[in-house]
Amino acid sequence: MMSVNGIYALKFMELLKNQKDFFTTLEKAFYEIDADWKNYKGVIIPGSHTPDKIERKLEIIKEARENGIPTLGICFGLQLMAVEFARNVLKIKDATSEEFGKGTFVVSKLLQLRVGIKKVRNFEGKEKYESHWHNYAINNDFVKQFQEKGFLVSLWGEDNIVEGMEIKEHPYYFGVQFHPEYQSTLENPHQTLKSFLLVCKK
Protein backbone atom coordinates (compact mmCIF):
# COMPACT_ATOMS: atom_id res chain seq x y z
CA MET A 1 0.00 0.00 0.00
CA MET A 2 1.28 3.43 -0.79
CA SER A 3 0.31 7.01 -1.10
CA VAL A 4 2.32 10.01 -2.11
CA ASN A 5 2.52 13.64 -1.15
CA GLY A 6 3.44 14.71 2.36
CA ILE A 7 2.10 12.85 5.38
CA TYR A 8 0.44 10.17 3.29
CA ALA A 9 3.79 8.95 2.01
CA LEU A 10 4.93 8.26 5.57
CA LYS A 11 1.77 6.32 6.40
CA PHE A 12 1.78 4.11 3.35
CA MET A 13 5.48 3.37 2.99
CA GLU A 14 5.35 1.75 6.44
CA LEU A 15 2.68 -0.63 5.19
CA LEU A 16 4.64 -1.70 2.11
CA LYS A 17 7.29 -3.75 3.90
CA ASN A 18 5.66 -7.14 3.37
CA GLN A 19 4.19 -6.41 -0.04
CA LYS A 20 7.28 -5.90 -2.16
CA ASP A 21 6.52 -9.07 -4.10
CA PHE A 22 3.66 -7.30 -5.88
CA PHE A 23 4.64 -3.69 -5.45
CA THR A 24 7.98 -3.98 -7.28
CA THR A 25 6.17 -4.86 -10.52
CA LEU A 26 3.57 -2.16 -9.94
CA GLU A 27 6.22 0.48 -9.26
CA LYS A 28 8.03 -0.43 -12.49
CA ALA A 29 4.79 -0.09 -14.47
CA PHE A 30 4.08 3.34 -12.99
CA TYR A 31 7.59 4.59 -13.80
CA GLU A 32 7.15 3.47 -17.40
CA ILE A 33 3.94 5.51 -17.64
CA ASP A 34 5.08 8.64 -15.79
CA ALA A 35 8.46 9.07 -14.10
CA ASP A 36 7.00 11.74 -11.81
CA TRP A 37 4.23 9.53 -10.43
CA LYS A 38 5.52 9.65 -6.83
CA ASN A 39 4.89 13.40 -6.78
CA TYR A 40 1.15 12.95 -7.21
CA LYS A 41 -1.43 12.45 -4.48
CA GLY A 42 -3.17 9.10 -4.46
CA VAL A 43 -3.58 5.79 -2.67
CA ILE A 44 -2.46 2.44 -4.04
CA ILE A 45 -3.43 -0.84 -2.40
CA PRO A 46 -1.54 -3.65 -4.15
CA GLY A 47 -1.84 -7.38 -3.79
CA SER A 48 -0.19 -9.28 -0.96
CA HIS A 49 0.81 -12.85 -0.19
CA THR A 50 1.13 -11.98 3.50
CA PRO A 51 -1.79 -9.84 4.73
CA ASP A 52 -0.83 -7.83 7.78
CA LYS A 53 -1.77 -4.59 9.59
CA ILE A 54 -5.28 -5.06 8.25
CA GLU A 55 -7.05 -2.67 10.61
CA ARG A 56 -4.56 0.14 9.90
CA LYS A 57 -4.97 -0.35 6.18
CA LEU A 58 -8.74 -0.25 6.50
CA GLU A 59 -8.49 3.05 8.39
CA ILE A 60 -6.44 4.57 5.58
CA ILE A 61 -8.81 3.27 2.91
CA LYS A 62 -11.73 4.83 4.79
CA GLU A 63 -9.86 8.14 4.99
CA ALA A 64 -9.19 8.08 1.25
CA ARG A 65 -12.78 7.18 0.38
CA GLU A 66 -14.31 9.85 2.59
CA ASN A 67 -11.91 12.60 1.53
CA GLY A 68 -11.98 12.17 -2.23
CA ILE A 69 -8.39 10.95 -2.54
CA PRO A 70 -7.83 8.96 -5.77
CA THR A 71 -7.64 5.29 -4.82
CA LEU A 72 -6.71 2.18 -6.77
CA GLY A 73 -7.05 -1.28 -5.25
CA ILE A 74 -5.50 -4.30 -6.94
CA CYS A 75 -6.50 -7.88 -6.08
CA PHE A 76 -6.21 -7.94 -2.26
CA GLY A 77 -6.66 -4.17 -2.48
CA LEU A 78 -10.16 -4.55 -3.96
CA GLN A 79 -11.01 -7.05 -1.24
CA LEU A 80 -9.95 -4.62 1.49
CA MET A 81 -11.98 -1.85 -0.14
CA ALA A 82 -15.02 -4.14 0.03
CA VAL A 83 -14.43 -4.95 3.71
CA GLU A 84 -14.05 -1.26 4.60
CA PHE A 85 -17.19 -0.30 2.69
CA ALA A 86 -19.19 -3.11 4.26
CA ARG A 87 -18.16 -2.09 7.77
CA ASN A 88 -18.58 1.66 7.48
CA VAL A 89 -21.29 2.13 4.86
CA LEU A 90 -23.33 -1.08 4.97
CA LYS A 91 -22.87 -1.13 8.77
CA ILE A 92 -21.86 -4.78 8.85
CA LYS A 93 -19.52 -4.23 11.78
CA ASP A 94 -17.96 -7.70 11.69
CA ALA A 95 -17.44 -7.68 7.91
CA THR A 96 -14.17 -9.35 7.01
CA SER A 97 -12.41 -11.72 4.62
CA GLU A 98 -12.24 -15.45 5.10
CA GLU A 99 -8.48 -15.03 4.60
CA PHE A 100 -7.78 -13.14 7.80
CA GLY A 101 -10.79 -12.79 10.08
CA LYS A 102 -13.82 -14.22 11.82
CA GLY A 103 -17.20 -12.64 11.18
CA THR A 104 -19.35 -11.93 8.14
CA PHE A 105 -17.37 -12.90 5.06
CA VAL A 106 -17.90 -10.27 2.38
CA VAL A 107 -14.77 -11.78 0.82
CA SER A 108 -14.76 -15.58 0.49
CA LYS A 109 -12.23 -18.25 -0.38
CA LEU A 110 -12.50 -19.78 -3.85
CA LEU A 111 -12.53 -23.52 -4.43
CA GLN A 112 -9.10 -23.30 -6.04
CA LEU A 113 -6.33 -20.81 -6.73
CA ARG A 114 -7.25 -18.69 -9.75
CA VAL A 115 -4.13 -18.08 -11.84
CA GLY A 116 -3.44 -16.99 -15.39
CA ILE A 117 -5.12 -15.00 -18.13
CA LYS A 118 -8.88 -14.81 -17.60
CA LYS A 119 -11.75 -13.19 -19.49
CA VAL A 120 -13.23 -9.99 -18.03
CA ARG A 121 -16.34 -8.20 -19.31
CA ASN A 122 -17.85 -4.79 -18.60
CA PHE A 123 -21.52 -3.93 -18.15
CA GLU A 124 -21.86 -3.45 -21.93
CA GLY A 125 -20.63 -6.98 -22.54
CA LYS A 126 -17.27 -5.94 -24.00
CA GLU A 127 -14.59 -8.49 -23.20
CA LYS A 128 -10.87 -8.34 -22.53
CA TYR A 129 -8.29 -10.63 -20.96
CA GLU A 130 -6.44 -9.86 -17.73
CA SER A 131 -3.80 -11.52 -15.56
CA HIS A 132 -4.90 -13.08 -12.24
CA TRP A 133 -3.39 -14.58 -9.11
CA HIS A 134 -5.85 -14.94 -6.24
CA ASN A 135 -7.55 -17.42 -3.97
CA TYR A 136 -10.25 -15.09 -2.59
CA ALA A 137 -12.96 -12.94 -4.17
CA ILE A 138 -15.91 -10.68 -3.35
CA ASN A 139 -18.82 -12.67 -1.94
CA ASN A 140 -21.63 -12.29 -4.49
CA ASP A 141 -24.24 -12.52 -1.72
CA PHE A 142 -23.37 -8.90 -0.85
CA VAL A 143 -23.20 -7.42 -4.36
CA LYS A 144 -26.77 -6.08 -4.26
CA GLN A 145 -26.10 -4.27 -0.96
CA PHE A 146 -22.85 -2.79 -2.27
CA GLN A 147 -24.55 -1.51 -5.41
CA GLU A 148 -27.53 -0.04 -3.58
CA LYS A 149 -25.10 2.12 -1.58
CA GLY A 150 -23.06 3.22 -4.60
CA PHE A 151 -20.12 0.79 -4.69
CA LEU A 152 -20.88 -0.52 -8.16
CA VAL A 153 -19.69 -3.65 -9.94
CA SER A 154 -18.32 -2.46 -13.28
CA LEU A 155 -16.48 -5.61 -14.38
CA TRP A 156 -17.43 -9.28 -14.19
CA GLY A 157 -15.32 -12.34 -14.85
CA GLU A 158 -15.64 -16.03 -15.55
CA ASP A 159 -17.78 -17.98 -13.07
CA ASN A 160 -19.46 -14.70 -12.12
CA ILE A 161 -16.39 -13.41 -10.27
CA VAL A 162 -16.49 -9.70 -9.41
CA GLU A 163 -13.56 -8.22 -11.33
CA GLY A 164 -14.00 -4.48 -10.76
CA MET A 165 -15.88 -2.12 -8.43
CA GLU A 166 -16.06 1.66 -8.32
CA ILE A 167 -17.73 4.67 -6.72
CA LYS A 168 -18.70 6.97 -9.55
CA GLU A 169 -19.27 10.03 -7.34
CA HIS A 170 -15.66 9.82 -6.12
CA PRO A 171 -12.83 11.47 -8.14
CA TYR A 172 -11.34 7.98 -8.56
CA TYR A 173 -12.20 5.01 -6.37
CA PHE A 174 -11.69 1.82 -8.33
CA GLY A 175 -10.67 -1.70 -7.35
CA VAL A 176 -9.86 -4.61 -9.67
CA GLN A 177 -9.39 -8.29 -8.93
CA PHE A 178 -6.80 -8.75 -11.67
CA HIS A 179 -3.22 -7.46 -11.86
CA PRO A 180 -2.93 -4.72 -14.51
CA GLU A 181 0.76 -4.27 -13.71
CA TYR A 182 1.52 -7.76 -15.09
CA GLN A 183 0.31 -6.78 -18.56
CA SER A 184 1.57 -3.21 -18.63
CA THR A 185 4.64 -2.44 -20.74
CA LEU A 186 6.53 0.66 -21.79
CA GLU A 187 5.13 0.33 -25.31
CA ASN A 188 1.61 -0.59 -24.18
CA PRO A 189 0.84 0.67 -20.66
CA HIS A 190 -2.30 -0.68 -19.03
CA GLN A 191 -5.28 1.66 -19.25
CA THR A 192 -6.26 1.14 -15.59
CA LEU A 193 -2.86 2.39 -14.39
CA LYS A 194 -2.81 5.24 -16.92
CA SER A 195 -6.24 6.53 -15.90
CA PHE A 196 -5.39 6.37 -12.20
CA LEU A 197 -2.18 8.38 -12.63
CA LEU A 198 -3.96 10.94 -14.80
CA VAL A 199 -6.48 11.65 -12.05
CA CYS A 200 -3.75 11.76 -9.40
CA LYS A 201 -1.75 14.21 -11.50
CA LYS A 202 -4.71 16.57 -11.82
Per-residue model confidence (pLDDT) at position 20: 55
Which long-range contacts link 104-108 to residues 24+ away (Cβ below 8 Å)?
105/139, 106/82, 106/138, 106/139, 106/142, 107/79, 107/82, 107/83, 107/136, 107/137, 107/138, 107/139, 108/136, 108/137, 108/139
Q: Which of 32, 130, 163, 181 is catalytic?
A: 181
Domain 2-201 is of which CATH architecture? 3-Layer(aba) Sandwich (3.40)
Q: What is the pLDDT of residues 74-90, one digit of tens each?
A: 999 999 999 999 999 99
Within a 13 Å sphere around the CA of 128, how many CA atoms are in the beta-carbon half?
15
Mean pLDDT across 69-76: 93
Q: How big is the CA angle at 45 (ends 145 and 191), to the nearest 5 degrees?
A: 90
Q: How confident is the model at residue 18 (pLDDT cuts 50, 70, 90)?
A: very low
What local confidence, expressed as pLDDT, does residue 21 receive? 58
Mean pLDDT of the chain: 87
CA distance 109 to 124: 28
Whole-angstrom Cα distance, residue 3 to residue 19?
14
pLDDT for the residue 121: 93
Q: Catalytic site residue 179?
A: yes
User: Tell me: the pLDDT tens digits for 97-150?
Assistant: 999 989 999 999 999 999 999 999 987 778 999 999 999 999 999 999 999 999
Burial of 54 per CB tally in 10 Å (0-12, 13-18, 19+): middle
Position 195 confidence tier, pLDDT thresholds 50, 70, 90: very high
Q: Which of 32, 75, 134, 163 is catalytic?
A: 75
CB 118 within 8 A of CB 157: yes
The per-residue pLDDT for range 140-189, each reduced to its tens digit, is: 999 999 999 999 999 999 889 999 999 999 999 999 999 999 998 898 99
Residue tagged active-site, from 132, 134, 170, 179: 179
What is the reported pLDDT for 13?
A: 42
Q: Are 155 and 164 in contact (CB under 8 A)?
A: yes
- Give the per-residue SS3 of 161-195: CEEEEECCCCCCEEEECCCHHHHCCCCCCCHHHHH
pLDDT at 26: 85
